[in-house]
Amino acid sequence: MAVLPEDEPLSIPLLLAAKGQERIAMMTAYDAPSAALLDAAGIDVLLVGDSAEMTVYGEPNTLTATMDAMVRHTRAVSRATRRAVVVGDMPFLSYQAGVEKAVENAGRFLAEGGAAAVKVEGGRRILPAVEAILAADIPVMGHVGLTPQSYRKFGGFKVQGREAESARAIADDAKALAEAGCFALVLECVPDSLAAEITREVPIPTIGIGAGAACDGQVLVFHDVMGFTRGHRPKFVRRYADLATVIEQAARAFTHDVKSGAYPSREESFSGTKPPLRRVHSKSPSPCGRGA
């Protein structure tokens, strides 16, 4: 049964009501034009992920993300979004270093970034921050399993919860976050059996990434889905487009046309009979159509 309307803005209560009724589609977005396309295509949740550090800025991990950059990306995504719930990803050390700072930083995602909620990585050890953010009426999405901000501790981007003890710890973290009042949980790179167990046991939607099919929803990174980047592709990624080839071919064609003189044509040029005699200052729009 469809719980999430196709043509009305979604909300946190609607996402909660979708548990067990309708699967949630979530994708990362970092800028206004791609957010507008994803929103129009029916993606339910746009996550402004700190994965922007890797996908947009070419960093090897997410640890370099800053509050200012994340809020700026969130604002761009929010401005272009009509239906989806926009979630801002709190960067490394923006919520781990003190509860007051955590609330202040979370608030920036809503007040300046226009987000509906924030996402934080970690379980019981970050509960004081989660509780304080929730007490400020800021909805929180949790994230357990492979939490990329802890990749140094894990020794790399590795599947978590394969052994009984670590699986228990992840399940306990998930339950603690749900009991604290998080509205959804990302389960990243955990065995599908563990994700299924957590999905059964928590009353909030689980959104999987490399966590199997039993989750209440799925999230992938925009650049992976669209085939924007080449190189290593994690096992769980399904590529739905080959933007890398499309962009490379377009860039080659443009380069060819510039070098051969085929671009621009007369139709792509401005005509004028007389050169201007003197510079005039005008407030009229630029003839190039992109503003003065």
The two beta strands, 24-28 and 85-89, are: unpaired
Task: Give me the residue label for tokens 């729009």.
Answer: 285
Segment near ligand KIV (CB under 6 A); pick from 43-51, 126-134, 153-161, 223-231: 43-51
Segment near ligand KIV (CB under 6 A); pick from 46-54, 108-116, 223-231, 254-262: 46-54
Can residue 89 be called a binding residue for ligand KIV (CB under 6 A)? yes
- From the candidates 53, 100, 188, 268, give the one annotated as an active-site residue: 188
Indicate the residue among 8 and 223 with the shorter CB distance to ligand KIV: 223
Segment near ligand KIV (CB under 6 A); pick from 42-50, 96-104, 124-132, 154-162: 42-50
- 176-to-1, 71, 136, 170, 217 alpha-carbon distances in Å: 29, 27, 19, 10, 20
Give min distance, CB of 222 to ligand KIV, in A. Answer: 9
Give the Cα separation of 43 and 82 in Å (integer). Answer: 11
Give the Cα separation of 178 and 188 in Å (integer). Answer: 16
Task: Give me the residue label for tokens 């599908």.
Answer: 192
Can residue 50 be called a binding residue for ligand KIV (CB under 6 A)? yes
Position 87: which residue type? Answer: V
Answer for which of 140, 144, 185, 186 binds ligand KIV (CB under 6 A) is 186
Question: Is 188 one of the catalytic residues?
Answer: yes
Segment near ligand KIV (CB under 6 A); pick from 45-53, 95-103, 122-130, 276-284: 45-53
Give the Cα separation of 279 and 234 in Å (integer). Answer: 57
33 three-state secondary structure: helix
Position 267: which residue type? Answer: E
Can residue 67 be called a binding residue for ligand KIV (CB under 6 A)? no
Note whether 109 and 115 are within 8 A (CB): yes
Q: Count interface residues toward ligand KIV (CB under 6 A).
A: 11
The DSSP output letter for 124 is G
Can residue 185 be called a binding residue for ligand KIV (CB under 6 A)? no
Can residue 49 be called a binding residue for ligand KIV (CB under 6 A)? yes
Can residue 126 be called a binding residue for ligand KIV (CB under 6 A)? no
Note whether 17 and 3 are within 8 A (CB): yes
Residue nearest to ligand KIV as judged by C-beta position: 49
Indicate the residue among 176 and 219 with the shorter CB distance to ligand KIV: 219
Q: C-alpha 282: how far from its chain's center?
A: 42
Indicate the residue among 51 and 171 with the shorter CB distance to ligand KIV: 51
Can residue 209 be called a binding residue for ligand KIV (CB under 6 A)? yes
Indicate the residue among 22 and 50 with the shorter CB distance to ligand KIV: 50
Task: Give me the residue label for tokens 């200012």.
Answer: 68
Residue 61: name the closest of 155, 171, 175, 164 by CA: 155
Indicate the residue among 49 and 123 with the shorter CB distance to ligand KIV: 49
Which residues partner with 117 through β-bridges? 87
User: Which are the catalytic amino acids?
Assistant: 188
Residues that bind ligand KIV (CB under 6 A): 28, 47, 49-51, 89, 186, 188, 209, 219, 221
